[in-house]
Amino acid sequence: YSTLGLLKFRLGALPEADAASRTALHVVQEGDFAPGLPFAATVLADIAVASGELCEAQALLDLLPRDRLPAGVGTALIPAGRGRLRLAQARASEALQEFENCIALWRSDVWEMEMRDVGYLHARSGAAQALLALGELHRARELAEAELADIRRFDGRRALGLALRAAGLARGGKVGLEMLEESVAVLNRSPAVLERAHSLIELGSAQRREGQRQEACRVLAQGLDVAARCGARPLIARAREELRIAGARPRRDWTSGVEALTASELRVVQLAREGLSNRQIAQKLYLSIKTVEGHLARAYGKLDITTRGDLDRVFALQKARVATL
């Protein structure tokens, strides 16, 4: 289920990714299978970060050990997940430390064999993003381009698109713009919809900074559309802001209807539609009853309903944000 959740996440189906990954977390915790916890929790945390639910991401990562992590395929995910959350929180110094911890766990001398991260962790590109935020351009370029070189040999499209984006942002200027264009071209041939949205928005932002306003608006509008279909709220907000700076008038955000629900709200509402009580939903999703009640109250407001009996009618009338995969 963790793998299914990861695949759904990369396809941009955030509510479905969350549901699958929460099933994995339930199985791992009920079965007391500690080795499976890092995978389940970090995938869920990444979904929460992409949805803009940073407090939930922190709570999930708090389930995991903090210090003295042994080298392992699973344990290396922990500092990588924390690093991505710290980036989203604009805590660049802490993000850099987490990614450096991750890189240290993946060293060849630790494993006594050659180790190359070709898309599993993306710790070097993550560190490069943190370094860029800290103004350390030279180190950012070194790390981003080292990861890109390894991934070019592997040639996985999602990983390559992500690495090209990181390297393009670190390089800047005309060369950086060309890398971002290549990132979008690669991801257009990949089902990795969420990364495609991210690269489109970064490309449009770079074009806007280079004075290519008309093309920037076109690319940013495309990125906004893809991000909106995923429900990736931080990317939606970034695209809208860049469009406004470029002089465009982006379409308004959804404020009502099924499409306005966050991933957490949609997840809870779907279980309510299945007939589960608030207590049962809380137990299934490992949430407090108060949290479930809050999600339902906000969802009812967006759907303009007052009872569960209205849910089927509303969902029959409105198209959900992400199609079932």
Give the pLDDT confidence of 147-164 residue by residue, as tens digits. Answer: 999 999 988 999 999 999
For 153, other C-beta atoms within 10 Å of its C-beta total 8
Q: Is residue 179 part of a domain?
A: no
Q: Is residue 149 part of a domain?
A: no
- Residue 250 DSSP class: P
Q: Is residue 226 part of a domain?
A: no
| 3-class SS shares of the chain: helix, strand, coil, % to 5 | 75, 0, 25
Range of weakest confidence among 107-111, 180-184, 245-249: 107-111
Structural domain of residue 275, as residue ranges?
258-317
Q: Is residue 193 part of a domain?
A: no
Find the CATH number of the domain harbouring 301.
Answer: 1.10.10.10
Angle CA 285–191–6, to nearest 5: 25
- Cα–Cα distance, 306 to 151 (Å, whole number): 51
**What is the per-residue pLDDT for 146?**
96
Structural domain count of the chain: 1
Q: Is residue 198 part of a domain?
A: no
**What is the per-residue pLDDT for 253?**
61
**What is the per-residue pLDDT for 318?**
55
Give the model confidence (pLDDT) of 184-206 as tens digits: 999 999 999 999 999 999 999 99
Q: Is residue 94 part of a domain?
A: no
Structure tokens at 314: 């509303």
Inter-CA distances, 76 with 32, 46, 119, Å? 20, 15, 13
- Cα–Cα distance, 113 to 109 (Å, whole number): 7
Average pLDDT, the chain: 90
% the chain with pLDDT above 90: 66
- Find the mean pLDDT for residues 35-43: 92
Q: Is residue 187 part of a domain?
A: no
Amino acid (1-letter code) at residue 128:
A
> DSSP string spanning 24-68?
HHHHHHHTT-GGGHHHHHHHHHHHHHHHT-HHHHHHHHTTS--SS
Q: Is residue 280 part of a domain?
A: yes
Alpha helices in 52-122 (DSSP H): 54-61, 77-88, 92-105, 108-111
- Cα–Cα distance, 296 to 176 (Å, whole number): 44
Q: For the chain, first and last CA: distance in Å?
A: 15
**Which residues, in sequence order, are CB contacts of 295 under 8 Å at separation 6+?**
264, 265, 268, 269
- Cα–Cα distance, 202 to 179 (Å, whole number): 11
